[in-house]
A and B are shown apart, each in its own frame.
Chain A
Amino acid sequence: MSVESLECRVNNPKGIHCRVATRIAEIVSSHDSQVQIAGSEKSADCTSILDILSLALTRNSRVVFTADGRDAAVVLDALQSLLAKTEDP
């Protein structure tokens, strides 16, 4: 068991919109770890697309993912590469 966190920046020009949020939720659901996403004020559970959307993370926002579980590093890797992209998943 490990808790790991990752700070990264939203590169998608439209921010974390529906498609990105959908992908985040899909990635997290296919792993064992519990993952939270935090913006500047609030944080949300990554399995909830509504929670993620309601953070209203626009381009260049800084976000922190915190993963807790045996595949924490793997899931964070996947999320990092997703957020690094400028194109929609």
Chain B
Amino acid sequence: MSTNLHRPSSDPDQQILYGLVGSPGIVIGQVVVISRHPEQTQRHTLPNDQVAAELLRFQEAVARVENELIALRSQFSTDLAEALSILDSHLLMVRDTVILDGTLTLIKQKRINAEWALSRILAEIRDKFEHIRDPYIKDRFSDIQYVVSRIFNQLSGRQEDLLGALDEPVIVVSDDFSPEDTIRMPAKNILGFLTEKGGITSHTSIVARSLDLPAVVGLEKVTSRCVTGDTVILDGFSGRVYLSPTLDQQTQYLEYKRQHRVFSDELAGYIHRTSETVDGLQVRLSANIEVLEELKTVQKYGAEGIGLFRSEFDFFQYKDPPDEQQLYKHYSEVLVRLAPAPVTIRTLDVGGDKFASRLTGSDLHFECERNPALGLRSIRFSLKKPDLLKMQLRAMLRASVHGRLRILLPMISSFDELRKVRKMLSNIMEDLDAAGIAFEQNVEVGIMIEVPSAVVMADTLAAEADFFSIGTNDLIQYSLAIDRANEYVAHMYEPLHPAVLRLIKQTVDAGHNQGIEVAICGEMAGDVVTAPVLLGLGVDELSMRPSAIPHVKRLLRHSCSRQLQEIGRQVLKCADGVDVRNLLTRYLPTYYPEEFGNQCRNVTS
């Protein structure tokens, strides 16, 4: 597409800045320049009787920053592993003894104000980092500075409100942005990012890519070359930024941009269509979500329900575990927003090790598990801690009157576990009845199929479960005995391994024989290469990242059920994953010329 574009010719007076592509895309718009001035701190000596209060003031400021970061962390989806890890480092930094104890000690010993003590500590850290030669580690000082500046803000009571009051979308310009900055700026008001610092792996680039907004980084002096209110062209394909572009140039760029948008617009055209094949076979395409904030993208991309609402977040967001009322409120909100579409809420799915270290208030103390993937996790953990599970189920039942709730139990590996939860549910129902609290009597209770033993016993389980949801990520790990995070064997992690596909087929058949629906909620569901295979194996629902839905829907709408079934039959005969991929390389371009016509590499990669 880029070959069609005649970029504006270089006018000698034209001001063009050249930077690095942080995130692709083109925008034309007004800029807002955000500059941060270093803190001016003053030293005050405190009277003796005020030292204790000053210590407390500092500790409270740190606690507020911590809470702020935790709250911000919650707004990132887990897809953004990179951004989350930056936030995790920042959280550790704000609690770091060097900063915390160092400042407290200075306040006590010198009887000085917290701001001054903190600035001394920051100067000490700067000294240490200045001696570091390795640029990558040296750069981390900017993170420390960032965290410390947040504490300063809290101490001064000044709330940094970046673009909060903005109503026109703009291109934001700064030295650099932290993930926290970007999340504090309302995404709908941002057209793109320009920064002086950074490369393609800088925070700004990472976050911009994840927000699908263009960014050019490493632009020398950009914060002084443009002024808030200037119009610029941000070309996130070439890394050029045109300061004061002519109208002609703007028009050409708008055309350029239009071409790039053809593809995503074409996908957007599928959002409001039904998800069915050309011959009318309907498959529900639903969304996986983790936090309530994602509901807007669920609606934006036309999800037909929530196939997986991971409920862990409520348990880790705050220092204290949630109470039933809080869970009830959140579950009700999702149900109301989606009604009458189904909302599948999964009960707590965590490893015991993680839980004990992260959930304070837990009285369980775990020895380090030798093999956590095979240990006390998920439903096993919940059954070991029945009060927690009861509270969660009770909140779900109470919320069930607000929409169509489906309760999903993770990692069921034996019939007994399902029976225990059923028993627990009926006890809770009796209690609710006795208390005169309304709930849906016939709430659906399904199980995750992610352990091979559950597949083998699927026919028996199907008699007791109202639906199945196959968690392919774990099913692959457990059936192939591959830990994807282990670099020695990660290459053997193959979603299209025929063993995995046969397990899926067996589950689908067992479910259908008992007349229950079978969904898939692993990563395979949102991948356009694997989705046709899953559809061919007969699944009733694919649940995925919301933004993947239009693409999968387009594929589905170009499918014919006979062809899908043919793919399903053929893959089951393959000897290994390579065979399956070779087969798809032959089939997919024929069945989906638009999708795979000239990009078979997508299949074989």
Chain A residues close to B by CB (< 8 Å): 14-19, 21-22, 25-26, 29-31, 45, 47-51, 53-54, 56, 58, 71, 74, 78, 85-87
Q: Are B89 and A18 in contact (CB under 8 A)?
A: yes
Report B-chain residues with C-beta under 8 Å of the C-beta of A14: 136-137
On whether A48 and B137 interact (CB within 8 A), knowing A19-B85, A71-B368, A87-B487, the answer reads: no
Report A-chain residues with C-beta under 8 Å of the C-beta of B128: 54
> Which one of A19, A29, A78, A86 lies within 8 Å of B487 (CB-CB)?
A86
Task: Report the Cα distance A74→B367, complex, angstroms.
Answer: 10
Q: Are A47 and B125 in contact (CB under 8 A)?
A: no
The minimal Cβ–Cβ distance linking B353 to chain A, given in whole angstroms, is 8
Q: Bits for B101-144, please: 1 = Cβ < 8 Å to A, else 0.
A: 00000000000000000000000010011011110111010011
Report A-chain residues with C-beta under 8 Å of the C-beta of B99: 50
Interface hit among B40-48, B90-98, B171-179, B251-259 = B90-98
23 of the cross-chain contacts (CB-CB < 8 Å) are A14-B137, A15-B134, A16-B137, A17-B136, A18-B85, A18-B143, A25-B92, A26-B88, A31-B368, A47-B97, A48-B96, A49-B96, A50-B125, A51-B96, A51-B98, A53-B140, A54-B128, A56-B132, A56-B137, A71-B368, A74-B368, A85-B487, A86-B487
Report A-chain residues with C-beta under 8 Å of the C-beta of B140: 17-18, 53
Q: Are A49 and B368 in contact (CB under 8 A)?
A: no
> Which one of B89, B96, B132, B368 lies within 8 Å of A19 (CB-CB)?
B89
> B357 at the A/B interface (Cβ < 8 Å)?
yes
Q: Are A49 and B125 in contact (CB under 8 A)?
A: no
Task: Report the Cα distance A29→B88, complex, angstroms.
Answer: 14
- Name which residue of chain B comes closest to A14, CB basis: B136
Q: Are B129 and A49 in contact (CB under 8 A)?
A: no
> Which one of A22, A30, A56, A78 lies within 8 Å of B92 (CB-CB)?
A22
Task: Report the Cα distance A18→B143, complex, angstroms.
Answer: 9
On whether A22 and B96 interact (CB within 8 A), knowing A17-B137, A50-B144, A53-B140, the answer reads: no
On whether A22 and B89 interact (CB within 8 A), knowing A16-B137, A85-B487, the answer reads: yes
Report A-chain residues with C-beta under 8 Å of the C-beta of B136: 14-15, 17
Known pairs A15-B137, A56-B133. 4 more at Cβ < 8 A? Answer: A21-B89, A25-B92, A29-B357, A48-B96
Closest 9 CB pairs between A and B? A56-B132, A54-B128, A30-B357, A50-B98, A49-B92, A22-B89, A18-B89, A50-B96, A48-B97
The minimal Cβ–Cβ distance linking A25 to chain B, given in whole angstroms, is 5
Task: Report the Cα distance A86→B490, complex, angstroms.
Answer: 14
Q: Are A54 and B357 in contact (CB under 8 A)?
A: no
- Name which residue of chain A comes closest to B354, CB basis: A30
Report A-chain residues with C-beta under 8 Å of the C-beta of B143: 18
- Name which residue of chain A comes closest to B368, CB basis: A74
Report B-chain residues with C-beta under 8 Å of the C-beta of A18: 85-86, 89, 140, 143
On whether A54 and B132 interact (CB within 8 A), knowing A16-B137, A87-B487, the answer reads: yes
Task: Report the Cα distance A14→B144, complex, angstroms.
Answer: 19
Task: Report the Cα distance A86→B353, complex, angstroms.
Answer: 25
Task: Report the Cα distance A37→B409, complex, angstroms.
Answer: 42
Q: Tell me the residues in window 569-603 of chain B with beta carbons closer than 8 Å to chain A beta carbons.
A: none
Report B-chain residues with C-beta under 8 Å of the C-beta of A26: 88, 92
Contact-residue size bin, chain B (C-beta under 8 Å from the other chain): 20 to 34
Task: Report the Cα distance A45→B368, complex, angstroms.
Answer: 22
Report B-chain residues with C-beta under 8 Å of the C-beta of A50: 93, 96, 98-99, 125, 144
Task: Report the Cα distance A51→B134, complex, angstroms.
Answer: 16
Task: Report the Cα distance A22→B85, complex, angstroms.
Answer: 8
Report A-chain residues with C-beta under 8 Å of the C-beta of B368: 31, 71, 74, 78
Task: Report the Cα distance A16→B134, complex, angstroms.
Answer: 10
Q: Are A22 and B132 in contact (CB under 8 A)?
A: no
- Name which residue of chain B comes closest to A31, CB basis: B368
Report B-chain residues with C-beta under 8 Å of the C-beta of A21: 89
The minimal Cβ–Cβ distance linking A62 to chain B, given in whole angstroms, is 16
The minimal Cβ–Cβ distance linking B306 to chain A, given in whole angstroms, is 31
The minimal Cβ–Cβ distance linking A28 to chain B, given in whole angstroms, is 11
The minimal Cβ–Cβ distance linking B443 to chain A, given in whole angstroms, is 37
Task: Report the Cα distance A22→B96, complex, angstroms.
Answer: 11
The minimal Cβ–Cβ distance linking A35 to chain B, given in whole angstroms, is 13
The minimal Cβ–Cβ distance linking B371 to chain A, given in whole angstroms, is 13
Task: Report the Cα distance A21→B85, complex, angstroms.
Answer: 11
Task: Report the Cα distance A17→B137, complex, angstroms.
Answer: 5
Task: Report the Cα distance A49→B125, complex, angstroms.
Answer: 12
The minimal Cβ–Cβ distance linking B180 to chain A, given in whole angstroms, is 15
The minimal Cβ–Cβ distance linking A23 to chain B, given in whole angstroms, is 9
The minimal Cβ–Cβ distance linking A29 to chain B, given in whole angstroms, is 8
- Name which residue of chain B comes closest to A25, CB basis: B92
On whether A54 and B134 interact (CB within 8 A), knowing A31-B368, A71-B368, A86-B487, the answer reads: no
Report A-chain residues with C-beta under 8 Å of the C-beta of B86: 18
Question: Which of B92, B138, B353, B368 is the most central at the interface, judged by chain A CB atoms within 10 Å of its CB?
Answer: B92
- Name which residue of chain A comes closest to B366, CB basis: A30
Report B-chain residues with C-beta under 8 Å of the C-beta of A85: 487
Task: Report the Cα distance A22→B99, complex, angstroms.
Answer: 16
The minimal Cβ–Cβ distance linking A58 to chain B, given in whole angstroms, is 5
- Name which residue of chain A comes closest to B353, CB basis: A30
- Name which residue of chain B comes closest to A61, CB basis: B134
On whether A54 and B125 interact (CB within 8 A), knowing A17-B136, A18-B140, A48-B96, the answer reads: yes
Q: Bits for B218-262, please: 1 = Cβ < 8 Å to A, else 0.
A: 000000000000000000000000000000000000000000000
Q: Are A53 and B137 in contact (CB under 8 A)?
A: yes
Task: Report the Cα distance A26→B357, complex, angstroms.
Answer: 10
- Name which residue of chain A comes closest to B147, CB basis: A50
- Name which residue of chain B comes closest to A45, CB basis: B97
Report A-chain residues with C-beta under 8 Å of the C-beta of B138: 56
Task: Report the Cα distance A49→B129, complex, angstroms.
Answer: 13
The minimal Cβ–Cβ distance linking A21 to chain B, given in whole angstroms, is 8
Task: Report the Cα distance A39→B140, complex, angstroms.
Answer: 19
Task: Report the Cα distance A69→B131, complex, angstroms.
Answer: 33
> Which one of B97, B129, B487 lies within 8 Å of A54 (CB-CB)?
B129
On whether A48 and B487 interact (CB within 8 A), knowing A54-B129, A54-B132, the answer reads: no
Q: Are A56 and B134 in contact (CB under 8 A)?
A: yes
Report B-chain residues with C-beta under 8 Å of the C-beta of A58: 134, 137
Report A-chain residues with C-beta under 8 Å of the C-beta of B93: 49-50
